[in-house]
């Protein structure tokens, strides 16, 4: 099946601000793509374009073959905005029913969706009594109703506790398993806990990476940290053999590229009983993200796009 989102060379200029420059991005059915970027990188602008709220100054977009914002597109797209706001006087159930009606979804869906987001018990309470997490879950409920072919989520998990975040990602994964395309924005990879198939990174309106996380890890080629703890009174000898920096009087810290890791580990194991323990730390998700989204640095990340 062809892409649900097909964005080609999209640019958006707001007077002097280049919010997006020449962005091309595809999202296929069943695919979850994370759109990452710092504040002002252009994430929300891209969502607003995909929704048809604003027209790009250049480029083309199709949503399953439809023009953004057309009736055809609106029937199949759901959106959870950055800031969810619902009429306070309505109950959770009334909110979801309202969106179900807008999308022409069967009203039977409402109860099922409320159950999914764990709001059945609170469904008949006014939204003004909801906690922040509950409001966010209600936002997801309105987005899930009607089985959207494309789910757009703008920072859906910001402000959620880890357990709620986990639950959110499970529900989003279920949409993808059922063939929906998901595009969700976030400020960093660590918030995402590497839950998506592909990661697209915007930096100052330009797409600087678009690849599975494992590819980004390889491309970034960030150093791996190896800490070797020496057996008692062997630190001088271990340091002389391995080099690196001495830490805490008993350990040596080394950094190496992925391609050198096994060679170094086998040298360490060659030291036998002189070594008490080895700790290998790959780059964190945060470090990988920072590598691709460096601010104030116009060097193009190695090997990407
Ligand atoms: N209507 C507008 N008029 C003028 N400038 C705008 C408008 N909308 C967005 N911008 C500018 O476009 C740039 C991208 O903004 P956008 O809201 O897309 O960023 P974002 O990645 O969603 O950031 P955040 O993480 O803070 O939500 C910013 O410089 C912003 O000031
Ligand atoms: Mg935004």
| pLDDT score at 305 | 39
Whether 73 shows a pLDDT value over 60: the answer reads yes
Least confident of 48-62, 177-191, 291-305: 291-305
Instruction: Say what angle helices 235-242 and 261-269 make with each other, to 10 degrees.
Output: 150
In CATH, what number is assigned to the domain containing residue 210? Answer: 3.40.50.300
d(CA 30, CA 40): 28
Whether 41 shows a pLDDT value over 70: the answer reads yes
| pLDDT score at 10 | 98
Residues 40 and 131 in one domain: yes
pLDDT over 90 percentage in the chain = 71
What spacing in Å lies between the alpha carbon of 186 and ligand 1's midpoint?
14
| pLDDT score at 297 | 53
Ligand 1: lining residues by beta carbon, under 6 Å: 14, 17, 19, 37, 39-45, 82
Taking the CA of residue 47 as reference, the ligand 1 atom at the shortest distance is: 18
Residues 149 and 235 in one domain: no
Residues 229 and 196 in one domain: no
Residues 153 and 11 in one domain: yes
Whether 35 shows a pLDDT value over 50: the answer reads yes
d(CA 158, CA 165): 9
What spacing in Å lies between the alpha carbon of 40 and ligand 1's midpoint?
5
Whether 118 shows a pLDDT value over 90: the answer reads yes
Assess if residue 99 is contained within a domain.
Answer: yes
Residues 35 and 61 in one domain: yes
Quote the number of domains for the chain: 2
Residues 152 and 249 in one domain: no
What spacing in Å lies between the alpha carbon of 205 and ligand 1's midpoint?
9
Predicted confidence band at 202 (pLDDT cuts at 50, 70, 90)?
very high
The helix or strand, by DSSP H or E, that contains position 26, with its residue range, turns out to be: strand 17-27
User: Average pLDDT of 81-86?
Assistant: 88
pLDDT over 70 percentage in the chain = 95
Assess if residue 289 is contained within a domain.
Answer: no
What spacing in Å lies between the alpha carbon of 44 and ligand 2's midpoint?
4
Closest residue to atom 4 of ligand 1, CA basis: 14
Closest residue to atom 31 of ligand 1, CA basis: 40
In CATH, what number is assigned to the domain containing residue 272? Answer: 3.30.70
User: Of the candidates 218, 239, 256, which is a domain's last residue?
Assistant: 218
Name the DSSP letter for residue 81.
Answer: -
Assess if residue 96 is contained within a domain.
Answer: yes
Assess if residue 58 is contained within a domain.
Answer: yes
Q: What is the per-residue pLDDT across 243-282, written as a single tens digit (0 to 9) for each?
A: 999 998 899 999 999 889 999 999 999 999 999 999 999 8
Taking the CA of residue 46 as reference, the ligand 1 atom at the shortest distance is: 18
Residues 37 and 140 in one domain: yes
| pLDDT score at 150 | 97
Closest residue to atom 26 of ligand 1, CA basis: 39
User: Average pLDDT of 140-148?
Assistant: 93
Residues 228 and 214 in one domain: no
Residues 10 and 62 in one domain: yes
Q: What is the per-residue pLDDT across 154-200, written as a single tens digit (0 to 9) for each?
A: 998 887 888 888 889 999 999 999 999 999 998 877 777 667 889 99
Closest residue to atom 28 of ligand 1, CA basis: 40
d(CA 7, CA 18): 17
User: Average pLDDT of 129-139?
Assistant: 92
Assess if residue 159 is contained within a domain.
Answer: yes
Choose among 59, 126, 129, 130: nearest CA to 95. 126
Indicate the length of the chain as a whole number: 305
Nearest 10 degrees: Cα torsion 67, 72, 76, 79? 50
User: Which residues make Cβ contacts (< 8 Å) with residue 63, sequence separation at least 6?
Assistant: 4, 5, 50, 72, 73, 76, 77, 150
| pLDDT score at 286 | 84
What spacing in Å lies between the alpha carbon of 59 and ligand 2's midpoint?
21
| pLDDT score at 300 | 45
What spacing in Å lies between the alpha carbon of 240 and ligand 2's midpoint?
51
Domain region containing 267 = 223-282
Closest residue to atom 29 of ligand 1, CA basis: 40
User: What are the tokens at 114?
Assistant: 């409320």
Beta-strand (E) ranges in 204-265?
206-211, 224-230, 245-247, 251-256
Closest residue to atom 17 of ligand 1, CA basis: 44
- The mean pLDDT of the chain is 90
Whether 234 shows a pLDDT value over 90: the answer reads yes
Which one of 12, 14, 57, 183 would you pick to mutate in the ligand 1 pocket, going by the greatest count of ligand atoms within 8 A of its CB? 14
Residues 157 and 265 in one domain: no
Residues 19 and 76 in one domain: yes
Assess if residue 305 is contained within a domain.
Answer: no
| pLDDT score at 232 | 87
d(CA 198, CA 192): 11
């Amino acid at each position: 099946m062809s892409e649900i989102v097909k964005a080609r060379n999209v640019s958006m200029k707001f007077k002097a601000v280049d919010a997006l420059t020449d962005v091309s991005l595809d999202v296929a059915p069943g695919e979850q793509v994370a759109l990452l970027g710092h504040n002002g990188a252009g994430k929300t602008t891209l969502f607003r374009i995909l929704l048809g709220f604003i027209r790009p100054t250049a480029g083309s977009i199709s949503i399953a073959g439809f023009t953004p914002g057309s009736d055809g597109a609106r029937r199949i797209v759901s959106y959870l905005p950055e800031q969810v706001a619902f009429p306070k006087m309505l109950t959770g159930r009334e909110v979801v029913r309202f969106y179900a009606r807008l999308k022409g979804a069967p009203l039977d869906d409402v109860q099922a969706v409320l159950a999914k987001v764990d709001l059945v018990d609170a469904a008949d309470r006014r939204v003004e009594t909801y906690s922040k997490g509950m409001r966010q879950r209600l936002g997801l409920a309105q987005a899930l109703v009607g089985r959207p072919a494309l789910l757009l989520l703008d920072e859906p998990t910001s402000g959620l506790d880890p357990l709620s975040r986990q639950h959110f990602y499970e529900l989003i994964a279920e949409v993808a398993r059922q063939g929906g395309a998901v595009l969700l924005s976030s400020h960093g990879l660590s918030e995402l806990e590497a839950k998506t198939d592909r990661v697209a990174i915007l930096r100052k309106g330009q797409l600087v990476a678009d690849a599975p996380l494992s590819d980004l890890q390889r491309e970034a080629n960030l150093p791996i940290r190896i800490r070797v703890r020496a057996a008692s009174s062997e630190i001088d000898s271990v340091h002389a053999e391995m080099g690196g920096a001495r830490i805490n009087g008993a350990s040596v810290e080394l950094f190496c590229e992925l391609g050198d890791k096994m060679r170094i580990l086998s040298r360490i194991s060659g030291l036998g009983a002189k070594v008490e323990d080895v700790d290998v730390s790959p780059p964190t998700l945060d470090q990988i993200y920072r590598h691709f989204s460096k601010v104030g640095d116009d060097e193009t990340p190695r090997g990407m796009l």
